[in-house]
Amino acid sequence: MDTRAFLPGTDPARAVYQGAKEAGLDDELIERAQLGFVDAYEELVRRHRRAAVQVAYLVSGSRAEAEDIAQDAFVRAYMALPRFRRGARFRPWLFAIVANLARNARRSAGRRNRLVLEFEHHPSGPDEPGPETRVLAGENQRRLMAAVNALPDGARLVVALRYFADLSVAEVAAALGLRPGTVKSRLARAHERLRQALAEPPEVRSAEGASHA
């Protein structure tokens, strides 16, 4: 079973196209912002605010602080914008700032980065699957979420940033201060753990858990 089929934001073709499109728009906005057009930077904030808040929450473990962390990161990024290297990607640079502030907030609060991840629920539309299919999908999602939340902290954070915040491997690496190869290897190990967890029938896990109780 390919666990990535159940995770959000995993269409490679869409991700590549969307990433290239957004990078081009970002380049134009950054050039204008560096020339002093505040509205251009405000548009950058609008484009990346949601993802920045997600990264702040996933790294800090605090929903309450995520908004403030992201806002602080945008202010710091604006102050450093004159030194931003032309041609560089804005999102990885921004997320590195967000993640650094979020790590500092987590350390200062003495908070263990224990996240309980959940799927977002969207209302059904005319093209949504029937109730039987939705029940099956819901059960698969519940099993997957339980498996993701059982991962070690480092693996869970990489999976969360890659698939729940919908960051690229390069963006995850920048946010966490890791090499892209390290991110890929952690994702591969996480996929294997998830595959094994989902391949095991729920009743077997329940019986094993009872036997160890």
pLDDT digits (tens, 9 = 90+) for 101-143: 998 888 887 665 555 555 444 333 334 444 434 444 556 777 8
State CA 118 to chain mean position distance: 12
Within the chain, which residues score under 70 in pLDDT?
Answer: 1-23, 110-139, 200-213
Same fold, 12-109 and 129-212: no
Looking at the domain 12-109, which fold is it?
Answer: Rna Polymerase Sigma Factor; Chain: A (1.10.1740)
Fold of 129-212: Arc Repressor Mutant, subunit A (1.10.10)
State the pLDDT at residue 47: 94
Q: Which sequence spans correspond to the domains of the chain?
A: 12-109, 129-212
| Residue type present at position 23 | A
Tell me, what's the pLDDT at 161? Answer: 87
Query: pTM of the entire structure?
Result: 0.66
- In the prediction, which pLDDT does 152 show? 85
For residue 92, which of 148, 26, 143, 144 has the smallest C-alpha distance? 26
